[in-house]
């Protein structure tokens, strides 16, 4: 399977156009292990606490296991997505309809993605103080985001989802894939596919000034 060359994106273009991709995932185009390993090699350059590198990356290609993961996801996602969403009185209210439509589409079609990914980190921060929890996830999440950036740079996309982790979902996923539940925490469930087109744009975000504080809150 041929690995396509990286897109010619500047750093700013890459950072501002890496989207949560749902409706534009190409469910028909195969994704090679070679391109996934290229992206993972790049992602593993991300910082990790004490250089521990205690991460593990579970890629799922088996159709039956993808369907089972999608069912776990849907059991949590469908009730959540059907709940009324808060009104915030700004641009986010205008976007929520499209976001929910996109999320429901992904829930309905999750197993169609060529590959699903669950990144894991050794340990369980359940009930840990804020500092320990921040340190724990800070040793994995930068690498996960780097993986999504690497996907984008090669014409692929994904969406960071966490709803399968609710309730018994994480344990069910662990049992399905042989992940040691007591020893490793899952960071999410990611559909991975080439995107339909590569012309993603900057998102409409609230201005940085609205979130900035200098010397005090």
**How many Å apart are CA 101 and CA 96, to the nearest integer?**
8
Cβ-contact 23, 102 below 8 angstroms: yes
Give the count of alpha carbons within 13 A of 43, CB side only: 25
Cβ-contact 75, 169 below 8 angstroms: yes
**How many Å apart are CA 87 and CA 6, to the nearest integer?**
40
82-103 pLDDT per residue, tens: 888 889 889 898 888 899 999 9
Angle at 204 between CA 45 and CA 190, to 5 degrees: 40
* Structural domains present in the chain: 9-81+101-194 (3.40.109.10)
Q: What is the mean pLDDT of residues 25-38?
A: 98
Inter-helix orientation angle 141-153/130-138, to 10°: 30
Give the per-residue pLDDT at 89.
Answer: 86
Confidence class for position 5, pLDDT limits 50, 70, 90: confident
148-199 pLDDT per residue, tens: 999 999 999 999 999 999 999 999 999 999 999 999 999 999 999 999 999 9
Q: Give Cβ neighbours of residue 92 (< 8 Å, ≥ 6 apart).
A: 206
pTM: 0.95
Cβ-contact 179, 186 below 8 angstroms: yes
Exposed / middle / buried, residue 49 (Cβ in 10 Å: 0-12, 13-18, 19+): middle
């Amino acid at each position: 399977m041929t690995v396509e060359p990286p897109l010619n994106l500047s750093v700013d273009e890459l950072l501002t156009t890496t989207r949560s991709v749902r409706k534009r995932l190409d469910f028909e185009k195969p994704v090679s292990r070679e391109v996934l390993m290229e992206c993972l090699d790049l992602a593993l350059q991300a910082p990790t606490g004490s250089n521990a590198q205690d991460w593990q990356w579970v890629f799922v290609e088996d159709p039956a296991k993808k369907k089972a993961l999608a069912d776990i996801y849907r059991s949590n996602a469908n009730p959540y997505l059907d709940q009324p969403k808060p009104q915030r009185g700004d641009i986010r209210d205008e976007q929520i309809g499209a976001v929910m439509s996109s999320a429901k589409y992904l829930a309905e079609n999750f197993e169609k993605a060529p590959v699903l990914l669950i990144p894991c980190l050794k340990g369980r921060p359940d009930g840990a103080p804020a500092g320990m929890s921040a340190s724990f996830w800070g040793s994995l999440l930068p690498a996960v985001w780097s993986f999504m950036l690497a996907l984008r740079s090669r014409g692929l996309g994904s969406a960071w989802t966490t709803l399968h982790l609710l309730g018994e979902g994480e344990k069910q996923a662990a049992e399905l894939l042989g992940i040691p539940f007591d020893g490793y925490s899952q960071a999410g469930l990611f559909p991975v596919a080439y995107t339909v087109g590569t012309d993603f744009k900057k998102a409409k975000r609230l201005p940085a000034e609205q979130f900035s504080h200098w010397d005090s809150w």
